[in-house]
Amino acid sequence: MTASSARKGANAWLSHAALLVAFGALAFYATHIVREDQGRLWSIAAIGFLLLAGTLASELVAPLGLPHLTGYLFAGIAAGPHVLGIVDEHTVKSLSPVNTLALSLIALAGGAELELGAVRKWARSLVVATTIQTGCVFAVATVTFLLARPLIPFARALGPWAAVGIALCWGALAVTRSPSATLGILSQTRANGALANFTLAFVMVSDVVVVVLVATVLGVARPLIDPSSRFSLDAFVSLAHELFGSVALGTTLGLVIATYLRLVNKQMLVVLLVLGFGVSTVLDYLRFDALLAFMVAGFVVRNLSNQGQKFVHYIEQTGTVVYVVFFAIAGADLDLPLLRALWPVALVLAAARASATWVSSRLASSVARDPPTLRNWAWAGLVSQAGLTIGLSLVVAREFPAIGAEFRSLAIATVAMNEMLGPILFKLALDRAGETSPNRNSAFPPPLLETQ
């Protein structure tokens, strides 16, 4: 790097830092002058501020080798109710529909990025990795929870069998991954290679496995925690309804999108926004899995129609904005006091899960005879956790209300650690594997002269 380019980079960094401080100070002043009676107006302003702050923060962490997602999270945490209070708790909750829309678009992007050829290519590795990863992480997380039981207030008071039941539930949650974090890193880096393709396929397939695993574990744990209950197949009936319904609706949505692209192909971004809100509401009413349905829709458009490339182009146009909003809101929603109270046991549980992920990944790659890149780095993309884990923890909390709130709090604290560390590890792995595109190192679009 020449002295001139280094000076130019330093000047750009200082400009972004100055802009972030200036806009942050302005927003902080406004929140202490304008009261909550602004309601919906302030929610719209909060989205704008999080979008701007997240983008600027991502530029500040990029020279350190950190992913943009880390900047988005830090911006949300700083602006959230537990630090500067620019975005208060009421505003964070009011942004829930926006978060749902962002997650829908992320799931669509995930399905659209999955090529049938890539899935077939890695089929053997995916089967081996899914089997070994699921079994190993589930077992280690369950045993670790039981060993850490003296550190967990709500588990300390449980009987032996009830503790085993809750530990099994914790083990099932530990198997979950974060599609949103995986896609966010891939969107930023434009990574292409064995590690990027394998991780994307594994994380998407893992979602289906986890939903089945959680339903199975709940059926086993219910009589352990509540002796008056009996093992019932009702959970599996509900699971079958959810899975088949989600796949059917996702397939239908994918065919509708493909038909629209072929016959109309206008205002597609508006159509995506409408579908994101509308279909999410229908899925919630029918109790289907929105993440699975939108992922299937994207997969159908990409692989079962000739509109795949066109669809990917439209999805990419929403890319940066969607990820900034999603992860900045996630940062603002992070409960720092809860993390401060539970960090010792959350750290133990998160470390055990990460260690099990590393060991099982190395073992699976050895059994499947994967290339060296996967043997060394496949584990790094599997540490992140986010919305799926929290959503499933809510399911467990509803099943066992006596300890549900405490269980979910511990899950949120552990997810917070994995959410902050996981994207950093995955980007580091992609960089070391040489799969990161050198042309995607900024959250801002290139100047017009550079694109000509």
Q: Residue 353: what pLDDT?
A: 94
* CATH fold for domain 99-433: Na+/H+ antiporter like fold (1.20.1530)
Tell me what the mean pLDDT of segment 3-20 comes to: 77
Whether residue 57 has pLDDT greater than 70 = yes
Tally Cβ neighbours within 10 Å of residue 308.
19
Whether residue 437 has pLDDT greater than 50 = yes
How far apart, in whole angstroms, are the C-alpha atoms of residue 354 and residue 347? 10
Phi, psi of 394, deg, nearest 5: -65, -35
Whether residue 438 has pLDDT greater than 70 = no
Q: Residue 350: what pLDDT?
A: 93
**Over the chain, what is the mean pLDDT?**
82
Encode pLDDT of 263-279 as tens digits: 888 888 788 888 888 88
Whether residue 388 has pLDDT greater than 80 = no
Q: Residue 446: what pLDDT?
A: 45
Task: Give the residue extent of every domain in the chain.
Answer: 12-94, 99-433
C-alpha triplet 93, 338, 171: angle, nearest 5°: 95
Q: Which of 46, 23, 51, 50 is nearest to 36 (CA)?
A: 46
Encode pLDDT of 180-208 as tens digits: 888 888 888 888 888 988 998 898 888 77
Whether residue 177 has pLDDT greater than 80 = yes
What residues have CB less than 8 Å from 218, skipping those under 6 apart?
169, 235, 395, 396, 399
Q: Residue 217: what pLDDT?
A: 84
Whether residue 8 has pLDDT greater than 90 = no
Tally Cβ neighbours within 10 Å of residue 6.
10
User: Which 3 state secondary structure label does DSSP give 175?
Assistant: coil
What residues have CB less than 8 Å from 427, skipping those under 6 apart?
65, 66, 67, 185, 188, 189, 436
Encode pLDDT of 245-259 as tens digits: 888 999 999 999 999
Q: Residue 136: what pLDDT?
A: 95
Q: Residue 448: what pLDDT?
A: 36
Q: Residue 452: what pLDDT?
A: 35
Q: Is the torsion defined by CA of 410, 413, 417, 419 positive or negative?
A: positive
At which residue do the structure tokens 């550079």 appear? Answer: 450
Lowest mean pLDDT among 20-34, 51-65, 359-373: 20-34
Q: Residue 351: what pLDDT?
A: 94
How far apart, in whole angstroms, are the C-alpha atoms of residue 351 and residue 244? 35
What residues have CB less than 8 Å from 185, skipping those under 6 apart?
67, 69, 191, 381, 423, 426, 427, 430
Lowest mean pLDDT among 223-232, 270-279, 363-372: 223-232
Whether residue 37 has pLDDT greater than 60 = no
Whether residue 441 has pLDDT greater than 80 = no
Whether residue 451 has pLDDT greater than 50 = no
